[in-house]
C-alpha cells in the first residue's frame, strides 16, 4: 500500500549539510511508490526546491506564523514559504505546543493561514503519558481535533493530514502498541465523521509518529489503518530514512 512518509529534521543540519542529504534522498527515492516529504528548517527550503524539483520528493516547513504579514520580528509567513515552492507545513507539533506554548486557538489560526496560502498541513495531535494513564487519551485527542479544525471546511480537508504522535513516544524509543494506535485512529476518524461526514472520515489521511525507525517501521507501516509515518530522529540518518521511506508496505 502506498504510504506518506514525512521526515521532520527539526533544528538539525546546516544548509550545506542538507544539500548532500537532499541529493541522496532525491537519487535513492526513485522508483518508490510511497510519497516522501522532507521538512527541513526554513533556511534549507531554497536548497530543497533546487534539489527536489522534478524528483519524487516533496518538501515542507516545520511551522509558520499565524499572521499573513506585519511587524512580527523573526516570524516566517505562509506566503514566504509558498513562494519558495514549499508544499507542506507541520502545524501543532508537540514541541511547539509545549516549548513555545502554542495553544489550539493559535494552531487553528495557523491551519487557516496555511490553507489560504495553498499549503498542505500535517496537523500533529497526541497525549501526554499522564493523560494516557488517566485513560483520557482518545477524549483528549478528539478535543484537540475539534479545536484545531474549527471553521475549516470539508473540502479543505483534502489538504490536511493528521499525525497522531503520543508525546511520550517522541524521541524516547518507547513503542505504542498497534492496538493503541488502532484505537486512536478510530477515535480520530470518529471525530472527523462527527465534525464533517462519513466520507471525510474515510478519506482523511492519518499517520503515526513517535520513535519510528528501522526496527519498527515495517510493523507499524504495514498496519492497513495507517496512511503513513512522521519520522523525527530516524530521518536524520539519510541511509535509514531512505530505507524507511522506500519500503513497500
Candidates 233, 244, 246, 249; binder of ligand PGA (CB under 6 A) is 233
State yes or no: residue 181 binds ligand PGA (CB under 6 A): no
Looking at the Cβ atoms of 118 and 171, the one nearer to ligand PGA is 171
Beta bridge partners of 91: 123
Work out whether 171 is an interface residue with ligand PGA (CB under 6 A).
yes
Region binding ligand PGA by CB under 6 A among candidate stretches 54-62, 174-182, 217-225, 229-237: 229-237
Our answer to whether residue 44 is catalytic in this structure is: no
Nearer to ligand PGA, 53 or 172 (CB): 172
Using the rule CB under 6 A, is 126 a contact of ligand PGA? no
Query: End-to-end distance of the chain based on CA atoms, in angstroms?
Result: 6
Check residue 60 for interaction with ligand PGA (CB under 6 A).
Answer: no
Q: Which one is catalytic: 93, 95, 102, 191?
A: 93
When binding is defined by CB under 6 A, the residue of 25, 45, 122, 170 that contacts ligand PGA is 170
* 95 in active site: no
- Return d(Cα 185, Cα 228) in angstroms, integer: 12
Q: Which residues pair with 208 in a beta bridge?
A: 164, 229
Identify whether the C-beta of residue 72 lies closer than 8 Å to the C-beta of residue 91: no
| CA atoms lying within 13 Å on the CB side of residue 160 | 28
Distances (CA, A) of 241 to 38, 94, 96, 170: 10, 22, 23, 16
Size of the chain in residues: 249
Measured CA distances, 219 to 115, 177, 201, 223, 224 (Å): 33, 10, 24, 7, 10
Q: Is residue 231 a contact residue for ligand PGA (CB under 6 A)?
A: yes
Q: Which stretch binds ligand PGA (CB under 6 A): 23-31, 106-114, 141-149, 204-212?
A: 204-212
- Residue 212 binds ligand PGA, judged by CB under 6 A: yes
When asked if residue 228 is in the footprint of ligand PGA (CB under 6 A), the reply is no
Which candidate, 81, 59, 86, places its Cα nearest to that of 69? 81
Residues interacting with ligand PGA, by CB under 6 A?
8, 165, 170-171, 209-212, 230-234
The residues that are catalytic are: 93, 165
Amino acid at each position: 500500500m502506498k504510504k506518506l512518509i514525512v521526515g521532520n529534521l527539526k533544528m538539525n543540519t546546516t544548509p550545506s549539510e542538507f544539500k548532500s542529504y537532499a541529493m541522496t534522498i532525491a537519487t535513492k527515492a526513485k522508483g518508490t511508490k510511497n510519497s516522501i516529504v522532507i521538512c527541513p528548517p526554513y533556511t534549507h527550503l531554497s536548497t530543497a526546491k533546487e534539489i527536489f524539483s522534478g524528483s519524487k520528493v516533496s518538501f515542507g516547513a516545520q511551522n509558520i506564523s499565524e499572521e499573513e504579514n506585519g511587524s512580527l520580528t523573526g516570524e516566517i509567513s505562509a506566503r514566504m514559504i509558498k513562494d519558495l515552492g514549499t508544499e507542506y507545513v507541520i502545524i501543532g507539533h508537540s514541541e511547539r505546543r509545549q516549548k513555545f506554548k502554542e495553544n489550539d486557538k493559535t494552531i487553528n489560526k495557523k491551519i487557516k493561514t496555511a490553507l489560504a496560502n495553498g499549503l498542505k498541513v500535517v496537523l500533529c495531535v497526541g497525549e501526554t503519558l499522564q493523560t494516557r494513564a488517566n485513560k483520557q487519551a482518545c477524549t483528549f485527542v478528539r478535543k484537540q481535533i475539534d479545536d484545531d479544525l474549527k471553521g475549516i471546511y470539508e473540502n479543505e480537508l483534502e489538504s490536511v493530514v493528521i499525525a497522531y504522535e503520543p508525546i511520550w513516544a517522541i524521541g524516547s524509543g518507547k513503542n505504542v502498541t498497534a492496538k493503541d494506535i488502532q484505537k486512536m485512529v478510530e477515535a480520530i476518524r470518529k471525530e472527523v465523521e462527527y465534525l464533517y461526514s462519513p466520507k471525510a472520515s474515510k478519506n482523511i489521511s492519518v499517520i503515526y509518529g513517535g520513535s519510528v525507525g528501522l526496527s519498527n517501521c515495517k510493523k507499524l507501516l504495514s498496519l492497513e489503518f495507517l496512511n503513513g509515518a512522521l519520522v523525527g530522529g530516524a530521518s536524520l540518518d539519510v541511509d535509514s530514512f531512505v530505507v524507511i521511506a522506500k519500503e513497500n508496505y
